[in-house]
C-alpha cells in the first residue's frame, strides 16, 4: 500500500512538472508545513524552499531550464510514525540525481532532490573506467609514472589550474578527489609539510568524537576492522595515503599571501609563497577549504608580558607531559579545553579550567551500535531533513538526553560547572549549526570535573596576569606555571579579509549559521548554512569545510557546480527569500 501511494504521488508530481502546471505541483505539498530541499539539481545551489509560496516561486523561475523530468521510486517505502517515506531516482535534462520524500496524509511534508551527476560528464568509474595500459607498440607512449610526474611538474607552472583549493585537510582532499574524478584541473595548496598534518600536529591524546562509519571519505571507505573512534595520528596517516592514491596535485609548505579577482579576464590572481619564492596562479575558481574557522583567537591580557611561565593558544598544545607537575590554567570550556585538561591530568599536572560562560555537554557512547544502512543511504536520509524541521528533532533528542542523564548533569552542576542546552534547547547539535560557542562532546573530562580532579572556576575570566599567577575577574588569584588559551578561532569568513580584502569579506558575509536569531547567529532565517558549498556574493569564490561527513557529502555538490561552470553549461541560480521569523518550536516528529 505504501509503495503504491508513493508511486502515485511521484507519478502525479512528474506529470505536473512536465506539463508546467506549477500550481498543481505545489498543491501536492502540505498547506500547513512543507519543505523542498534542493542540492543543485533544480536551483544550481544548496537551498531549502520553506512553504508552498517559496516552492511555487522556485518552480516558476527554474522549471524551464530544468527541462523534462522523470522520477522512479527506489527501494521499499517505510512508515515512520505518521509519515510514509521513500527514496527515488530522478533525471532532468541536465543531470541525474537521488531524492527522498516524506508524505503525511497523502501530502508532501519534506522533499529532497540531490544532483549526483551531470549528463555527458559522468565520472570515469565502474564500466566507464579508463583502460590504463596501452597494449600496443608506440614510441610516444608514456608510462603511468611519467604521466603523473609530468602533471605534477606542469600544473601551476606551465598549465594553470581551473580550480585552486586552499587547505589540504579532509575538506580540501575530499573536494580535490571529486574534482579529479570530474576531470577538472585542480591544485591544492597547504601551508603544512604533508597532507594530514593538520591532524598529526594536534595534541597526542586527540581522538575523533564521531564513529568511523560516519567519517568515510569519497571513493575509499575505511577498513572494516578499524576502531570506532580513530586517533588523530591514524586519520592523519590515512589522509596522506588518500592524497597519494587519489593522485591529487598538492603543493605542501605553500602559503597563500594574497588574492584578487580580475573582473576583465574572469580569473583570480593568487600570490603564493613556495620554496622561498613567489608563484602567481590564475585559477577561475577559488575554494577556501581551511576547516570550520579562521586563525586562532588569543586574548590580549594585562600583564601577559610579565608572566614567568609558558603561555600559548590551544592550537599549539602537543603533549601534556611537558607540563607534568606544573600548575596549569586553561582559559575556555569547549572541546579543546576539556581534551587538553584531560591530557594535563593524565600527565599529573595541577589543572584548573576557567569557564567564562555556560557550556552544553553531550555524552558520547563508548560502543555505539553500527549502522544497518549503507553510507550512501544514510547520507541521503540525513540530507533529506531540512534544518527547520530538524530543530524540533534536536530539541526532543536534547530533552530525552536531559531526562536519561539527569543525575550526571546534576553532579556536573554541583561541581560548579555552568551548564546549558542552548538558547533554544537544541543542545550540542543546535549549537553546531548556529555558529554558537560553548559545547563539549564528553569523552571523560566531565567525570574528572565531577570528582574534582579537574578544578573549575566558572562565571569568570582572567582579568590580569602576574609573574607566577593569574587574577580572575571575581578577585580570586590562582598560582600558575602555564596558561593555555582555549579561546577559539576567528570565523571562517575572516580568511577573506586576510587574503582578499575587507570589502570582499563584508559583501560575502558570514559562513555557517542559519539565521536562527540566537546570539552568534543573527536572522533572518536562511534555511541553509550561510555561504557553504554554494555560490557566494563574490564570483568564483567558494567555501568548503566541516566534519569528515560534511566533507564527503557536500564535496560532490560543490564539485558539480564547478564542473558546470568549466563546461559553460547554462546556469541560473535560485536564491530563496530569507524569512523574518523565529524558528518553529513545535514537534514535527
Task: Name the phi and psi angles at 554, rounded to 5.
Answer: -85, -15
Phi first, then psi: what are they for 399, rounded to 5°?
A: -65, -40
Q: Which of 171-180, 195-204, 470-479 has the lowest mean pLDDT?
A: 195-204
Rounded to 5 degrees, φ, ψ at 385 are -95, 110
Any idea of the CA torsion for 239, 240, 246, 248, to the nearest 10 degrees? 110
* pLDDT, position 135: 74
Are 363 and 91 a contacting pair, CB within 8 Å?
no
Question: Confidence class of residue 139 from pLDDT cuts 50, 70 and 90?
Answer: confident
The DSSP secondary structure of 85-129, one letter per residue, reads EEEEEEE-SSEEEEEEEEEETTEEEEEEEEEEEETT---S-GGG-
Which of the residue ranges 126-135, 146-155, 227-236, 381-390 would you say has the lowest mean pLDDT?
Answer: 126-135
Tens digits of residue pLDDT in 206-265: 888 899 999 999 999 999 999 999 999 999 999 999 999 999 999 999 999 999 999 999
Angle at 35 between CA 32 and CA 38, to 5 degrees: 165
Cell of 371: 549502522
Residue 587 pLDDT more than 60? no
Cα 466 to Cα 429: distance, rounded to the nearest angstrom: 39
Global pTM value: 0.94
Alpha-carbon torsion (205, 210, 216, 222), positive or negative:
positive
pLDDT higher than threshold 80 for residue 2: no
Q: Which of 48, 110, 28, 62 is nearest to 577 (CA)?
A: 48
Model confidence band, residue 369 (pLDDT cutoffs 50, 70, 90): confident
**Could you tell me the three cell numbers for 297?**
583567537
Whether residue 100 contacts residue 85, with contact meaning beta carbons closer than 8 Å, is answered with yes
Per-residue pLDDT, averaged over 464-472, amounts to 98
Interstrand relation of 285-288 and 254-262 (parallel, antiparallel or unpaired): unpaired
Mean pLDDT on 500-517: 93
Closest CA to 482 of 297, 317, 257: 317
Measured CA to CA, the distance from residue 209 to residue 425 in angstroms comes to 22
Count, residues in the chain: 589
Residue 203 has pLDDT above 50, yes or no: yes
CB 260 within 8 A of CB 176: no
Domains of the chain, first to last? 2-118 (3.10.450.50), 145-294+492-566 (3.50.50.60), 301-364+375-487 (3.50.50.60)
Cα–Cα distance list, 441 to 334, 378, 466 (Å): 9, 22, 33
Q: What is the mean pLDDT of residues 130-144?
A: 81
**CA-based R_g, the chain, Å:** 25
Q: How confident is the model at residue 375 (pLDDT cuts 50, 70, 90)?
A: very high
- Give the model's pLDDT for residue 586: 40
pLDDT of residue 581: 54
Cα-based angle 273, 278, 284 (whole degrees, multiple of 5): 85
Mean pLDDT of the chain: 94
Q: Specify whether the CB–CB gap between 255 and 160 falls below 8 A.
A: no
* Residue 273: per-residue pLDDT: 97
Q: What is the pLDDT of residue 585?
A: 43
Position 191 scores a pLDDT of 95
Residue 589 has pLDDT above 80, yes or no: no
- Residues 557-566: what's their mean pLDDT? 98
Quote the pLDDT of residue 3.
Answer: 85
Residue carrying C-alpha cell 524552499 = 49
Query: What's the pLDDT score for residue 584?
Result: 45
- Per-residue pLDDT for 580 more than 70? no
Inform me whether the pLDDT recorded for 15 exceeds 90: yes
User: Which of 107, 311, 317 is CA-nearest to residue 232?
Assistant: 317
Asked which of 156-160, 303-307, 318-322, 512-516 is least confident by mean pLDDT, the reply is 512-516
Phi/psi of residue 95, nearest 5 degrees: -145, 170
pLDDT tens figures, 92-124: 999 999 999 999 999 999 999 999 999 999 999
Dihedral of alpha carbons 66, 72, 74, 80, sign: positive
Write the Ramachandran bin of 488: left for phi over 0, alpha for psi from -120 to 50, otherwise beta.
Answer: left
- Give the residue-averaged pLDDT of 62-74: 95
Beta bridge partners of 155: 159
Contact 267, 283 (CB under 8 A): yes
pLDDT of residue 335 exceeding 90: yes
- Please give the pLDDT value at position 160: 97
Amino acid at each position: 500500500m505504501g509503495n503504491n501511494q508513493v508511486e502515485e504521488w511521484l507519478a502525479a508530481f512528474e506529470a505536473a512538472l512536465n506539463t508546467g502546471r506549477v500550481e498543481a505541483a505545489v498543491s501536492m505539498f502540505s498547506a500547513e508545513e512543507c519543505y523542498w530541499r534542493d542540492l543543485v539539481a533544480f536551483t544550481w545551489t544548496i537551498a531549502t524552499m520553506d512553504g508552498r509560496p517559496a516552492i511555487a516561486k522556485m518552480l516558476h523561475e527554474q522549471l524551464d531550464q530544468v527541462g523534462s523530468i522523470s522520477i522512479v521510486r527506489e527501494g521499499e517505502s517505510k512508515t515512520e510514525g505518521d509519515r510514509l517515506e521513500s527514496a527515488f531516482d530522478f533525471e532532468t535534462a541536465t543531470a541525474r540525481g537521488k531524492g527522498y520524500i516524506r508524505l503525511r496524509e497523502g501530502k508532501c511534508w519534506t522533499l529532497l532532490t540531490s544532483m549526483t551527476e551531470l549528463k555527458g560528464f559522468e565520472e570515469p568509474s565502474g564500466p566507464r573506467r579508463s583502460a590504463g595500459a596501452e597494449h600496443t607498440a608506440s614510441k610516444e607512449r608514456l608510462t603511468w609514472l611519467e604521466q603523473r610526474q609530468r602533471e605534477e611538474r606542469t600544473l601551476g607552472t606551465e598549465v594553470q589550474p581551473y580550480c585552486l583549493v586552499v587547505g589540504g585537510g579532509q575538506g580540501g582532499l575530499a573536494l580535490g578527489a571529486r574534482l579529479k574524478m570530474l576531470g577538472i584541473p585542480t591544485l591544492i595548496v597547504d601551508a603544512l609539510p604533508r597532507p594530514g598534518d593538520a591532524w598529526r600536529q594536534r595534541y597526542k591524546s586527540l581522538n575523533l568524537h564521531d564513529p568511523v562509519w560516519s567519517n568515510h571519505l569519497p571513493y575509499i571507505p575505511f577498513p572494516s576492522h578499524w576502531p570506532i573512534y580513530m586517533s588523530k595520528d591514524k586519520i592523519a596517516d590515512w589522509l596522506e595515503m588518500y592524497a597519494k592514491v587519489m593522485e591529487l596535485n598538492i603543493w605542501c609548505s605553500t602559503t597563500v599571501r594574497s588574492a584578487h579577482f580580475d573582473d576583465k579576464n574572469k580569473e583570480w590572481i593568487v600570490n603564493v609563497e613556495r620554496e622561498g619564492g613567489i608563484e602567481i596562479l590564475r585559477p577561475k575558481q577559488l575554494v577556501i577549504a581551511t576547516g570550520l574557522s579562521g586563525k586562532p583567537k588569543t586574548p590580549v591580557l594585562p600583564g601577559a608580558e610579565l608572566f614567568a611561565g609558558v603561555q600559548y593558544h590551544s592550537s599549539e598544545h602537543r603533549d601534556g607531559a611537558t607540563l607534568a607537575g606544573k600548575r596549569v590554567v586553561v582559559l575556555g570550556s569547549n572541546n579543546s579545553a576539556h581534551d587538553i585538561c584531560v591530557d594535563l591530568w593524565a600527565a599529573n599536572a595541577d589543572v584548573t579550567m576557567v569557564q567564562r560562560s555556560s557550556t552544553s555537554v553531550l555524552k558520547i557512547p563508548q560502543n555505539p551500535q553500527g549502522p544497518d544502512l549503507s553510507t550512501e543511504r544514510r547520507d541521503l536520509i540525513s540530507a533529506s531533513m531540512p534544518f527547520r524541521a530538524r530543530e524540533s528533532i534536536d530539541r526532543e533528542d536534547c530533552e530525552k538526553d536531559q531526562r536519561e542523564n539527569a543525575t550526571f548533569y546534576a553532579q556536573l552542576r554541583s561541581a560548579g560547572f555552568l551548564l546549558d542546552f542552548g538558547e533554544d534547547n537544541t543542545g550540542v547539535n543546535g549549537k553546531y549549526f548556529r555558529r554558537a560557542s560553548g559545547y563539549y562532546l564528553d569523552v571523560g573530562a566531565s567525570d574528572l570535573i565531577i570528582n574534582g580532579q579537574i578544578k573549575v572556576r566558572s562565571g569568570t575570566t582572567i582579568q590580569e596576569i602576574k609573574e607566577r599567577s593569574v587574577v580572575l575577574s571575581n578577585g580570586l588569584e590562582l598560582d600558575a606555571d602555564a596558561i593555555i588559551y582555549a579561546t577559539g578561532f576567528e570565523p571562517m569568513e575572516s580568511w577573506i579579509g586576510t587574503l582578499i580584502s575587507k570589502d570582499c569579506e563584508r559583501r560575502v558575509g558570514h559562513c555557517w549559521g542559519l539565521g536562527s536569531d540566537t546570539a552568534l547567529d543573527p536572522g533572518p532565517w536562511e534555511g541553509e548554512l550561510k555561504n557553504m558549498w554554494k555560490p557566494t556574493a563574490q564570483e568564483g569564490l567558494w567555501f568548503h569545510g566541516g566534519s569528515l561527513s560534511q566533507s564527503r557529502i557536500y564535496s560532490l555538490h560543490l564539485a558539480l557546480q564547478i564542473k558546470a561552470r568549466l563546461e559553460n553549461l547554462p546556469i541560473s541560480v535560485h536564491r530563496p527569500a530569507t524569512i523574518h521569523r523565529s524558528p518553529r518550536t513545535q514537534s514535527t516528529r
